[in-house]
Amino acid sequence: MASKLFVGNLPRSVADNALAEFVTNAGFNVASAVVIRDKMTGDSKGFGFVELAEGEDLQRAIAGLNGQALEGRPLTV
pLDDT of residue 1: 56
Burial label for 58, CB within 10 Å (0-12, 13-18, 19+), is middle
Cα(17)–Cα(70) distance, rounded to whole angstroms?
A: 13
Could you read off the pLDDT of 12-66 as tens digits, one per residue? Answer: 999 999 999 999 999 999 999 999 999 999 999 999 999 998 887 889 999 999 9
